[in-house]
Amino acid sequence: MSLASPDWADGWYRPAERIDSPNFGPRPPDSVVSLVIIHSISLPPGVYGGDAIERLFTNRLDWTAHPYFEQIRGTEVSAHFVIRRDGSLVQFVSADDRAWHAGKSSWQGRDNCNDYSIGIELEGLEDHPFEAQQYRQLSTLLPAIARAYPIAQVVGHEHVAPGRKRDPGTAFEWDALAKNLGWPDRYFPAGKPPQAT
């Protein structure tokens, strides 16, 4: 559960557009939300705009609309937040609940990162630059999350699922994000993203 904060109501961040996803579940009893995982997503890959991400996260994607969609047919996934290329913010799952974003994952010896993390998707493609507006929104959202939840670290999907995932990728500007936030190094992954094995 979130701490008291005027920006939040039952895990929903008031400034975000709310679109409810059915793809979520309860967090385990006594779980503490201490991790934020940053992802990247575009559907089809490298195509921006449109409503395909929203449709995927709400189980309304037309699998026949693009050849790539056949590869992910039947997928039921979600994230708590999506930051679009223009910096606009959408929330799909209450941060009090467990979104389905990290899959098989582990961080610092703890498996099942979905249990104790908040997932943020940036509209983009691995290793392609993100927009300044996205960093600005992320630099607003992360402190808001930290005011409501005891966040200890912010990492990429590539850090919790090395060898399986590469997002947000090499173009993501971790140093710039840390500088924008003014948070100490302990909040961020050390060194470069892990290499695929």
Q: Give the start-to-end residue ranges of the domains of the chain.
A: 8-187
pLDDT score recorded for residue 6 = 84
Catalytic residue among 17, 70, 121, 123: 121
Domain covering 8-187: architecture:
3-Layer(aba) Sandwich (3.40)
Alpha-carbon distance 2 to 111, whole Å? Answer: 22
Catalytic residue check, 121: yes
pLDDT score recorded for residue 16 = 98
Instruction: Reply yes or no: is the peptide bond before residue 189 cis, omega within 30 of 0.
Output: no
Alpha-carbon distance 147 to 3, whole Å? Answer: 7
Alpha-carbon distance 176 to 174, whole Å? Answer: 5
Would you give the DSSP letter of residue 18? E
Alpha-carbon distance 118 to 80, whole Å? Answer: 6
Q: Are 10 and 96 in contact (CB under 8 A)?
A: yes
How far is Cα of residue 121 from the mean position of the Cα atoms in its chain? 4
Q: Are 104 and 161 in contact (CB under 8 A)?
A: yes
The reported pTM is 0.94
- Which residue type occupies 94? S
Alpha-carbon distance 96 to 104, whole Å? Answer: 20
Would you give the DSSP letter of residue 131? P
**pLDDT values of the chain reduced to their tens digit, one per residue, 197 residues:** 666 678 999 999 999 999 999 999 999 999 999 999 999 999 999 999 999 999 999 999 999 999 999 999 999 999 999 999 999 999 999 999 999 999 999 999 999 999 999 999 999 999 999 999 999 999 999 999 999 999 999 999 999 999 999 999 999 999 999 999 999 999 999 754 554 43
- Which residue type occupies 101? H
User: Which of 155, 148, 154 has the alpha carbon at shortest distance from 11?
Assistant: 148
User: Which of 111, 75, 87, 115 has the alpha carbon at shortest distance from 16?
Assistant: 87
